[in-house]
Amino acid sequence: MKKLLHSILWLLSLALIMGAVPAKASSNLSVSGRAAVLMEQKTGRVLFEKQAHTPMRIASITKIMTAILAIESGKMEKEVLVTERAVRTEGSSIYLKPGEKIKLKDLVYGLMLRSGNDAAAAIAEYVGGSEEGFAFLMNQKAAEIGMLNTYFSNPHGLDNKEKHFSTAYDMALLTRYAMGNDEYKKIAGTKVHHFPDPEENWDREWRNKNRLLSMYRFCTGGKTGYTKRAKRTLVTTAKKGDMELIAVTLNAPDDWNDHIQLFESGFASFRMAEILPKGKLDFQKQPYKDGELYIDSPVLYPVTSGEESKLTIDYKLLEPTENKFPGGSKKQGALAGKAIILLDGRAIKTVPVYFNPKKNRKTGYLDEFKHFITLAIGIKGNG
């Protein structure tokens, strides 16, 4: 039930994002990538796009999905027995050996930092039972996240399957989802990972292929990719102040500079505006005489300087009957309605509004007892 509720809330949020007011980081911004997206992490607002919804080959950025499924399996500390089939996977490798046992966690590090296709295959066999079974899980998760123009056929992104594609926008959605997981965030941002080699007297060392972690001081993680047919693909994340951004480029010969340019333009053109502060909502006329309305977290949204005056809020409040809201009694934390944030007349975000009743003047048993004792000893007598 909890997982279903999470999926429903994610899809509702996605529906608002897809209907949100489009924006551009800069009218002069140009990238080498055939497709590109710059997305703000907290809200999912697209700040720049180029052929964002065009299905294309994605190469090893596929492994973002492989990594998050491995993490969500809850088996990161379990040992995986590496098969001959996994070792024979072509392309980039972390040089696994048939029959060796390695923690799933270390496989994910090898997957993300060194882009090991053998690691991807070993993860798929362990978590999904087979590569085909794992591909089913990948597409199931893609549908849950709202990746409408994506289909996965393998866990690594190799060109060995014709039906394996995504879009810049869908990969930004996936990265936004994955970055909500603390373990994924840590792995994606790790520059070097060490762990013991059972057959040697020294540790294995894996250095991250994501050069942007060293090139750009605000970079927090990402994943590289390349195949002959997909060309260079890249997903990176960056944080500056209270703003977190996701950049995706597909078929981009100058991807490192593309991403730096996207981030710099985004950070310069937008700021995270606090549209609604956390706490009590102030109205000219309070809707309910017996209590106050509040929101439980501040509402932030990335806007340009010219957009701030176009932000408005529309409140849709429930009408209580017999001292009850349609969803329950008028108690602390009862859902009393929603606040719809609009930018230039278009809904961009909806947040729940809660009810806080005024303190009950009736005293409890302890207060009544204290009052009785006070009167008995004459402190509050006849004056």
Out of 63, 105, 231, 349, pick the active-site residue.
63
Buried b (16+ CB within 10 A) or exposed e, 330-341: beeebebbebbb
- Is 362 marked as binding a ligand? no
DSSP code at position 321: B
Out of 115, 153, 265, 269, pick the active-site residue.
115
In degrees to the nearest 10, what's the CA dihedral of 293, 297, 302, 308?
30
| 63 noted as active-site residue | yes
Under 8 Å between Cβ of 299 and 272: no
Burial class (CB in 10 A: 0-12, 13-18, 19+), 241: exposed
The identity of residue 278, as a single letter, is: K
| Residue of 299, 226, 305, 212 lying closest to 262 (CA atoms) | 212
| 115 noted as active-site residue | yes
**What pairing do the DSSP bridges indicate for beta strands 346-357 and 291-295?**
antiparallel
| 297 noted as active-site residue | no
Out of 50, 60, 92, 166, pick the active-site residue.
60
The three-state secondary structure class of 211 is: coil
The DSSP code sequence of 55-100 is: -B--GGGGHHHHHHHHHHTT-TTSEEEPPHHHHT--SS-----TT-
Burial class (CB in 10 A: 0-12, 13-18, 19+), 132: exposed
Task: Give the residue numbers marked as catalytic.
Answer: 60, 63, 115
Q: Which residues are annotated as a binding site for substrate?
A: 223
Q: Which residues are annotated as a binding site?
A: 223
